[in-house]
Amino acid sequence: MKIVVLDGYATNPGDLSWEGLQEFGELTVYDRTSAELTLERAAGAEVLISNKVFLGSAEMASLPELRYVGIQATGVNVVDLEAARKHGVAVTNVPAYSTNSVAQHAFALLMELTRGVGRHAELVKQGAWTNCPDFAFQETPQVELAGKVFGVVGFGDIGRATATIAEAFGMRVLVHTRTPDPQAFPDTEFVALDQLLAEADVVSLSCPLTPETEGFINAERLATMKNSSYLINTGRGLLVDEEALATALSRGIIAGAGLDVLSQEPPPAENPLLQAPNCFITPHLAWATRAARQRLIDDLVANLRAFLNGELRNRVDR
């Protein structure tokens, strides 16, 4: 059986092993594959592993041997699932592999916004403390989280994990989700989105990208937030109207933003958020701890083994 990993570099830049997939057949791993090279590299493969390489109806029609696509992610928008069903191609994803890593990163962004750890450490290296007349100094306001309100939009695995961390900091947690379940989570305070935005000191986005959520953090909703509040986005870049957020930061409508995702990745130089004040952007690495990437590979192997054994593990084409 021919197995091709079309874009493996982000998952495994060289510190992990693909040997788990080798037990199933002949394995070829490409770091990256452009759209122009997809059909050439996928030719003859029964199994394709993809992260960001799109596989649609045209590709599947041109790959008659293809039986299975394993997505190296939780999101499934890189595969046309209707086309997969039409062509009899099984598709799996990997849910929940990065939950703890992403939740941790959300708070790393929040720590930078509220305490400026990196900024102050750099100032010390530059001599600012050495030349300071006092025993301590601060360039940015130092904000304590205890007693603040943490608003979570989306209450899947990552949303629940960030809520748990917020509670450990002594924060009151508000949750907005499409499917509130007070019986399953009796201690959770489920609220409408408008209430969450108005009351939260921190708004953390953990919801999926859908037609309803695309751009839903817009100028109108940003205007309802406290001018001392922070926006954290470790979900999807397109959840946020970036022009509106840049304007809100420039005008002091909100106090700051911590983002691990943008609408286009890598971002073009003209993205307004790259120059927005008090906006910390990391390059979509919240998921990318070594532990999370190892779980991802382990699940890719387990998904393929299950498929070959006739089991429906993490199937998203059904």
d(CA 156, CA 267): 27
Residue 200 CB burial class (10 angstroms; 0-12, 13-18, ≥19): buried
What are the residue numbers of the active site?
A: 236, 265, 284
Cα–Cα nearest to 203, from 214, 213, 217, 190: 217
Half-sphere exposure (Cβ direction) of 317: Cα atoms closer than 13 Å: 22
List, edge to edge, every strand of the sheet that includes 68-71: 26-29, 2-5, 47-50, 68-71, 90-92
Helix axes 157-168, 99-115, angle to 10 degrees: 40
d(CA 230, CA 215): 17
Helix axes 117-125, 99-115, angle to 10 degrees: 60
How far is the CA of 137 from the CAs of 78, 108, 113, 142, 172, in angstroms? 48, 22, 17, 11, 30
